[in-house]
Structure 1
């Protein structure tokens, strides 16, 4: 028996930005992947500060980190957001920039960052902006319990009952 597929809903422009904002801000944390000079991928968890109206994802970082150095060498990055409690997954490809603009640091500073920095005036603080280019998303239309029940029913009966999800491409 074939596997049921979720309905496709590809999004572009402002609709894609709204979906990125909705899903990424709900997940809050992602694997942030950069490339080293030798071409190796490096991933680390990062906490999202905001997705702005232009589709830029903002993160606090440290100017002396490998991540910041790798972005200065290669601005292409990939972000993997997972909100397992809601069965929402988002993959974003984008171009990153590193800044030490005081206004951006002030805007995105939160007390959680004190774990890594000596206050918001720490000279090591940087802000990374990732301009989303495109990506892919998957989300359930119903709550986790309903989606899980549908998947379990399909597994037990062998039916093609889909899990109530929707997925599609994101083109900013």
Structure 2
């Protein structure tokens, strides 16, 4: 389905989830944007968990962190991903939920977190953050193609209608 006013297309949930999973799988870090109790936006880098995207995004955070305090005040968040090499960008909106689940923590945990949590996996400061995705939008376009389009436009004075792919997914 295409939005002719914006050129954006909407895809099915199943197709969108599969494609979003493909985008996220190789991106190590995301930006989690929260809203403080005073309405201020804060973005913080978070480590992408090595789990298959099924509509939910998981992070491991600290109970004493600003992001957890913000989530308690306002659970609406945004998670942004960028793969500059592939010229791919993803924005996921959703509701953050603070979860205490040892079994889930064990599936998400890696020894790299020992640098942040002195007590390792048993550290009482560990907080699981689950983002229940409500929607997503992604943009894809090859850098080489875009550079070529810029060169053609410079020489010919004509712009291209091909701006890559822009899809929205209702989750």
Fold shared by both chains (TM-score > 0.5): yes
Structure 1 equivalent of residue 151 of structure 2? 152
Output the aligned Cα RMSD: 2.3
Indicate how the Cα distance of structure 1 residues 51 and 12 shifts in structure 2: closer, same or farther if over 3 A, else same. farther
Indicate how the Cα distance of structure 1 residues 97 and 160 shifts in structure 2: closer, same or farther if over 3 A, else same. same
Aligned counterparts of 2:74 and 2:86: Cα–Cα separation in 1: 33
Structure 2 equivalent of residue 133 of structure 1? 134
* SS of equivalent to 1:89: strand
* SS of equivalent to 1:135: strand
Structure 2 equivalent of residue 3 of structure 1? none
User: 8 Å contact 1:29–1:81 — kept in the other structure?
Assistant: yes
- Unaligned 5+ runs, structure 2: 1-5
* SS of equivalent to 2:86: coil
Larger deviation: 59-68 or 160-169? 160-169
Structure 2 equivalent of residue 73 of structure 1? 73
* SS of equivalent to 1:9: strand
User: 8 Å contact 1:50–1:59 — kept in the other structure?
Assistant: no
Structure 1 equivalent of residue 122 of structure 2? 121
1:13-66: per-residue Cα shift (whole Å, max 9, x none)?
Answer: 111211221212232322111111111111111111045453001111111111
User: 8 Å contact 1:151–1:162 — kept in the other structure?
Assistant: no
- Unaligned 5+ runs, structure 1: 1-5
Q: TM-score, normalised by structure 1?
A: 0.84
User: 8 Å contact 2:51–2:108 — kept in the other structure?
Assistant: no
User: 8 Å contact 2:75–2:96 — kept in the other structure?
Assistant: yes
Question: By how many angstroms is 1:145 displaced?
Answer: 3.1
Aligned counterparts of 2:128 and 2:155: Cα–Cα separation in 1: 49
Give the 5 Å matches for 1:72-111.
72-111=72-111
User: 8 Å contact 2:20–2:53 — kept in the other structure?
Assistant: no
